[in-house]
């Protein structure tokens, strides 16, 4: 073994190796105090933890305020994305309002084969009537069809020139109000197509239903867009936090060297992400509120002129609350993501 | 306290920087680590602070195996070591008080305990009146003493100093050394890497000499 050559320690009675008072209990005051004060009382530790979090929360806010210009720019970009997202959301919510209370006016028309006679057709209509998904059936005979055609089409002379009546018998089916979903209608249509008497089946969707389908499509588009916008928010926050990380690189390395856990290093950046999300939510909320206020009167005037009863909807309290939570969570998630990647690369030199 | 067993460190680019290092430091022992630049002094310290892992051999610190420490355990290991650097590594946007308090904040101490300990540490290094100053307003010697206060404030069982007097004139250097002696006298194990031969020769302590990655004298 290697030998010590010093004898300078005043505590070494033999003037040899410097292990004067160890390992008697009084010789390790250092460790003892540490365990007693730091690890012994969990309540003290918990309070210290809360204190630290509160402190860091406001320190990270201060950091944002210290660089007002760049903070505002970042928050502005984030707010723009969030504004777009809630605007779309509100458009969908308001359009949905339009279709509320509108009766479904879907109708199915069964065009029967030429050879089917009126009596047979009537029986078929009665049979269809028994289907629980059918509310009402009606029959248009060949003769009645011709009458209607003559009355409304304006081709009366041309039609009269024909030798026989070319119009088929039509059975009109009004689906039950419980069967207005596209899938249920499809089922009905398939069933009707199986009747030998039926030549063609045509679904005549009501305009309300068409509108609803359109809004549903729009809703889905908005959903996809919102996902992109959320991803954009995450990326903007991640990039902002990354810059901040690089600015404070030395500090992080020093903290790592003196025993900071990744959690400790992460904390202020997570808080920064939270504040960015939170403030951009506030900004977006105000922008949308102003937009809605500006559009409210013109839209309601217009609706009034059509005898409509349309009221412009804005975010309700719960919706506002959820919006703030989502935006802040995006902030936290964005910074957490980039920290997971970057902290591993920040190794002390 | 600290034990190296057949420790080697190899870098892919530079080859073997440390070769078969064997030594141990007892509790409360003070030693110098010397050698020319490039002899492996810094690498040796980096292995102790788990900034890097050794390629072969085994390192023990305060009864715990450094080799076996998982990434999550490294912070806890580092809290047993007070690190002192040639360039002080202070945070320049924070006051002296906040710099010294940092290890305690990291370890999760409460407000009052932090205040008490920071003032005690600053008192020990003779900077009690300068808590609210910023590091840039202090002289080099004072900054290094802030660094030392930060290293000892958590009362670690071991202090590692990498060229602590490298940027200081001889008079300030010997002041810093006297501080180290005081810590050693209360039972702290101290390892100081330095190439300042005159400083070492003035003090009668154990000297570990590294040359080309090997421990040539002890």
Q: Which residues of A touch B187 (CB under 8 A)?
A: 20-22, 27-30
From A204, A237, A257, the end of a domain falls on A204
Q: Which residue has the tokens 């997971």?
A: A340
Q: Which residues of B touch A7 (CB under 8 A)?
A: 204
- Same domain membership, residue A188 and residue A91: no
CATH number for the domain spanning A115: value is 3.30.70.3040
- Same domain membership, residue A198 and residue A87: no
pLDDT tens per residue, range B107-139: 888 888 899 999 999 998 889 889 999 999 999
Which residue of chain A is at minimal alpha-carbon distance from B89? A254
Please give the Cα distance from A251 to A236 (Å, whole number): 23
Among B212, B51, B189, B199, which residue's Cα sits nearest to residue A258? B51
Please give the Cα distance from A90 to A96 (Å, whole number): 10
**3-state SS record for chain B:** CEEEEEEEEEECCCEEEEEEEEEEECCCCEEEEECCCCCCHHHHHHHHCCCCCCCEEEEEECCEECCCCCHHHHHHHHCCEEEECCCCCCCCCCCHHHHHHHHHHHHCCCHHHHHHHHHHHHHHCCCHHHCCCCHHHCCHHHHHHHHHHHHHCCCCCEEEEECCCCCCCHHHHHHHHHHHHHHHHCCCEEEEECCCHHHHHHCCCEEEEEECCEEEEC
- Same domain membership, residue A314 and residue A244: yes
Do residues A229 and A328 make contact, with C-beta atoms less than 8 angstroms apart?
Answer: no
- Same domain membership, residue A157 and residue A254: no
Do residues A266 and A332 make contact, with C-beta atoms less than 8 angstroms apart?
Answer: no
Question: Would you call A23 an interface residue with chain B, using a CB distance cutoff of 8 Å?
Answer: yes
Task: Name the 3-class secondary structure at A108.
Answer: strand
- Same domain membership, residue A276 and residue A145: no
The answer to whether residue A16 scores a pLDDT higher than 80 is: no
From A204, A226, A243, the end of a domain falls on A204
Residue in B26, B78, B208 closest to A19 by CB: B26
Residue in B27, B110, B156 closest to A23 by CB: B27
Please give the Cα distance from A8 to B32 (Å, whole number): 13
- Tell me if B105 and A52 make a contact (CB, 8 A cut-off): yes
Domain spans in chain B, listed from the N-terminal domain onward: 95-155
Do residues A165 and A142 make contact, with C-beta atoms less than 8 angstroms apart?
Answer: yes
- Confirm whether A44 is domain-assigned: no
- Confirm whether A15 is domain-assigned: no
- Confirm whether A190 is domain-assigned: yes
- Within chain A, strands assigned E span 107-112, 134-140, 170-175, 198-204
If one counts every other C-beta atom within 10 angstroms of the C-beta of residue A62, the result is 9
Burial class from Cβ neighbours inside 10 Å (0-12, 13-18, 19+) for residue B30 reads buried
Q: Which residues of B touch A11 (CB under 8 A)?
A: 28, 185
Q: How many domains does chain A have?
A: 2
- Same domain membership, residue A183 and residue A280: no
- Same domain membership, residue A112 and residue A158: yes
Q: What is the least distance, in Å, from the CA of A22 to any CA of chain B?
A: 7
Which residue of chain A is at minimal alpha-carbon distance from B102? A255
Retrieve residue A10's tokens. 């005043």
Residue ranges making up the domain that contains A294? 61-102+210-345
- Same domain membership, residue A214 and residue A93: yes
Candidate from A134-138, A330-334, B29-33 with smallest mean pLDDT: A134-138
The answer to whether residue A25 scores a pLDDT higher than 80 is: no
Mean pLDDT (chain B) is 90
- Tell me if A255 and B79 make a contact (CB, 8 A cut-off): no
Mutate to test the interface with A, among B27, B32, B153, B200 (most CBs of A within 10 A): B27
Please give the Cα distance from A184 to A182 (Å, whole number): 6
- Same domain membership, residue A112 and residue A164: yes
Write the DSSP symbol of residue A343. Answer: T
Q: What is the ipTM of this complex?
A: 0.90
The pLDDT, as a whole number, for residue A335 is 96
> Which of A142 and A40 is assigned the larger pLDDT?
A142
- Same domain membership, residue A315 and residue A226: yes
pLDDT tens per residue, range A70-125: 999 999 999 999 999 999 999 988 888 776 656 556 788 888 888 888 888 888 88
| pTM to 2 decimal places | 0.73
Confidence of residue A24 (pLDDT cuts 50, 70, 90): very low
- Same domain membership, residue A283 and residue A217: yes
């Amino acid at each position: 073994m290697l030998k010590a050559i010093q004898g300078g320690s005043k505590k070494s009675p033999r003037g040899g190796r410097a292990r004067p008072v160890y390992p008697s209990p009084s010789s390790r005051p250092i460790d003892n105090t540490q365990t007693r004060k730091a690890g012994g009382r969990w309540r003290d530790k918990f309070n210290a933890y809360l204190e630290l979090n509160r402190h860091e929360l406001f320190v990270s806010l201060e950091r944002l305020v210290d660089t007002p210009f760049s903070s505002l720019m970042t928050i502005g970009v984030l707010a723009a994305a969030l504004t777009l997202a809630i605007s779309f959301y509100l458009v969908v919510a308001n359009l949905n309002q339009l279709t509320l209370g509108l009766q479904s006016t879907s109708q199915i028309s069964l065009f029967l084969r030429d050879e089917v006679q009126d009596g047979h057709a009537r029986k078929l209509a009665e049979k269809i009537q028994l289907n629980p998904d059918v509310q009402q059936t009606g029959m248009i005979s060949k003769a009645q069809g011709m009458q209607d055609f003559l009355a409304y089409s304006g081709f009366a002379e041309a039609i009269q020139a024909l030798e026989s009546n070319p119009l088929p018998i039509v059975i009109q089916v009004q689906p039950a109000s419980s069967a207005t979903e596209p899938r249920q209608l499809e089922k009905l249509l398939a069933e009707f197509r199986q009747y030998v008497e039926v030549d063609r089946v045509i679904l005549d969707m009501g305009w309300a239903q068409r509108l609803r389908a359109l809004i549903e499509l729009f809703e889905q588009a908005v959903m996809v867009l919102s996902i992109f916008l959320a991803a954009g928010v995450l990326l903007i926050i991640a990039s902002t936090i990354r810059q901040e990380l690089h600015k404070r690189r030395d500090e992080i390395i020093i903290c790592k060297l003196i025993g900071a856990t990744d959690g400790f290093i992460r904390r202020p950046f997570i808080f920064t992400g939270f504040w960015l999300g939170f403030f951009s939510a506030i900004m977006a909320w105000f922008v949308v509120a102003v937009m809605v206020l500006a559009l409210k009167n013109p839209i309601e005037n217009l609706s009034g002129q059509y005898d409509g009863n349309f009221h412009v909807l804005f975010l309700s309290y719960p919706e506002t609350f959820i919006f703030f939570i989502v935006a802040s969570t995006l902030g936290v998630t964005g910074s957490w993501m980039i920290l997971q990647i970057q902290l591993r690369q920040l190794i002390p030199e | 306290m600290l034990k190296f067993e057949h420790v080697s460190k190899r870098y892919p680019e530079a080859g073997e920087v440390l070769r078969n290092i064997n030594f141990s430091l007892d509790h409360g022992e003070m030693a110098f680590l010397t050698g020319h630049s490039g002899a492996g002094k810094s690498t040796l310290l980096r292995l102790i602070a788990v900034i890097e892992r050794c390629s072969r051999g085994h390192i023990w610190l305060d009864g715990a195996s450094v080799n076996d420490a998982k990434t999550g355990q490294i912070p806890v290991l580092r809290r047993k070591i007070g690190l002192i650097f040639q360039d002080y590594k202070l945070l320049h946007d924070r006051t002296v008080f906040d710099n010294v308090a940092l290890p305690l904040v990291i370890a999760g101490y409460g407000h009052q305990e932090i205040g008490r300990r920071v003032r005690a540490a600053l008192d020990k290094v003779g900077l009690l009146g300068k808590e609210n100053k910023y590091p840039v307003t202090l002289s080099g010697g004072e900054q290094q003493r802030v660094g030392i206060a930060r290293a000892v404030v958590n009362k670690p069982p071991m202090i590692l100093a990498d060229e602590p007097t490298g940027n200081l004139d001889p008079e300030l250097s010997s002041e810093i050394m006297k501080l180290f002696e005081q810590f050693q006298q209360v039972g702290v194990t101290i390892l100081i890497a330095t190439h300042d031969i005159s400083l070492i020769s003035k003090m009668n302590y154990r000297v570990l000499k590294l040359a080309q990655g090997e421990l040539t004298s002890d």
